[in-house]
Structure 1
């Protein structure tokens, strides 16, 4: 087991620190108030700013970027800090768009990082589907990331990424032993597409967690933007009727406050 310090900065953005490693997920640091277009007539307004400023971040070893083409996962201020990170890990399409030293991973491919004094870090890209069936040509490529390191091979730390609950995502539970998950929820919807959802709702998260059997489930990316249709209360209602072990695994992080989690 390893003590991992996790700071939920807001939206999908989290700082993950352990064994000398410092990782940042989906950097979003713009101030609130701006409306961003996501293409095909969809848009969202950022309604909350980051709980930690860019200037307060420690040196970042790697940015784990689930996708680069939606501003709620990479906004202007987040994009500006990418060159300061030693590594940027993202999707294949994102790697092409970002260029430079960005590394694009296809689903189930693996990338390893090493640094003196820290255990080698194995990063496995996991599949996502950011919308209903056949929506990938419109919504684009998205990835999740599973982190494993020496002594931690049987209890991965998984960032789900923006996704609905699909057969590919369920496969994570059969291919990986997940101890802790940063679970992207929020049940994203847009007026132009009606009842179609683009990320998991609370009941979807419960179903996935019943398959994963993770010991810690940390909701992220359910607040801070106008396109979320489910916040904390709706997620809590869904988990309240889950199996006892799933209810017990749910852990809310106070924005901006580091929390040490045993992974």
Structure 2
């Protein structure tokens, strides 16, 4: 399978370059320092800025937006970028809220194809995610991951998890989709108000899920840059070990 170039820009935001396509995940380009509210009394402060500004990333053919309701996945500068992207693929509720002509909302396991002259088409499938404990969706909202398939290939060239805990819906992804490169959101998000409850995977849960998914390469993202991450990178690097784990240097394109 042909290589994919990944540039981690900070947080969940990653530029994917594959077969001539420039695909951006969860765009976040605001400067650090601001505190953002996430609802129900929770908030977080951004402590690290993007490795590159939006203009350095352009042009963007496709944005894969796991969800729009939290600023650590879509901030003000990221929202401004959406209208300039070729196509934005996100959840059904986010598509309704964004109300842009270039947005496509996908339900779990629904697929869409992007095509352009001179490039092979890509099929994109939405996969389930749950951004917190059982019954948390009315509070945290809908989240999706996305799998990218080259034409005629059963194995996903890349799959991004989106913000999710380890639960049965994620285990179903491992059963249904063979994956080459996995972009895994970690961080073990917790808030003081909600005590020990986690809203994203810890490195320990990531390790358990990797054993189920068995991708060729795992790229951890979204584990730093905000005060609500409680599973530090130092712990994640010790927990996630092996030749299949690729830690990216922000701003540096890396072939995987």
Considering the TM-score relative to the shorter chain, is it more than 0.5?
yes
In the TM superposition, residue 155 of structure 1 has moved relative to its aligned partner by 4.1
In the TM superposition, residue 248 of structure 1 has moved relative to its aligned partner by 2.0
Task: Determine if contact 2:130/2:143 at 8 Å carries over to the other structure.
Answer: yes
Q: How does 1:54-203 map to 2 (within 5 A)?
A: 54-101=54-101, 102-150=103-151, 152-203=153-204
**Per the alignment, in what secondary structure is the counterpart of residue 226 of structure 2?**
coil
Task: Determine if contact 2:127/2:144 at 8 Å carries over to the other structure.
Answer: yes
Task: Determine if contact 2:150/2:156 at 8 Å carries over to the other structure.
Answer: no
Task: Determine if contact 1:156/1:176 at 8 Å carries over to the other structure.
Answer: no
1:156-194 superposed Cα distances (whole Å, 9 cap, x missing partner): 310000000000001111100111100000000000000
Matched residues in 1 for 2:137 and 2:44: separation? 19
1:30-81 superposed Cα distances (whole Å, 9 cap, x missing partner): 0000000000000000000000111211311111000001000000000011
**Per the alignment, in what secondary structure is the counterpart of residue 4 of structure 2?**
strand
User: Unaligned 5+ residue runs, structure 2?
Assistant: none
- Name the residue aligned to 2:250: 255
Matched residues in 1 for 2:176 and 2:71: separation? 30
- Name the residue aligned to 2:47: 47
User: Unaligned 5+ residue runs, structure 1?
Assistant: 241-246
In the TM superposition, residue 152 of structure 1 has moved relative to its aligned partner by 4.2
- Name the residue aligned to 2:208: 207
- Name the residue aligned to 1:231: 232
Task: Determine if contact 1:9/1:255 at 8 Å carries over to the other structure.
Answer: yes
In the TM superposition, residue 237 of structure 1 has moved relative to its aligned partner by 2.2
Task: Determine if contact 1:158/1:178 at 8 Å carries over to the other structure.
Answer: yes
- Runs of 4+ off more than 3 Å: none
- Name the residue aligned to 1:19: 19
User: What TM-score does the superposition give when structure 2 sets the normalisation length?
Assistant: 0.98
Matched residues in 2 for 1:60 and 1:82: separation? 9
State the number of aligned residues. 255
Please report the RMSD computed on the Cα atoms of aligned residues, expressed in angstroms: 0.9
- Name the residue aligned to 1:244: none
1:184-235 superposed Cα distances (whole Å, 9 cap, x missing partner): 0000000000000000001100011000111100000000000000122111
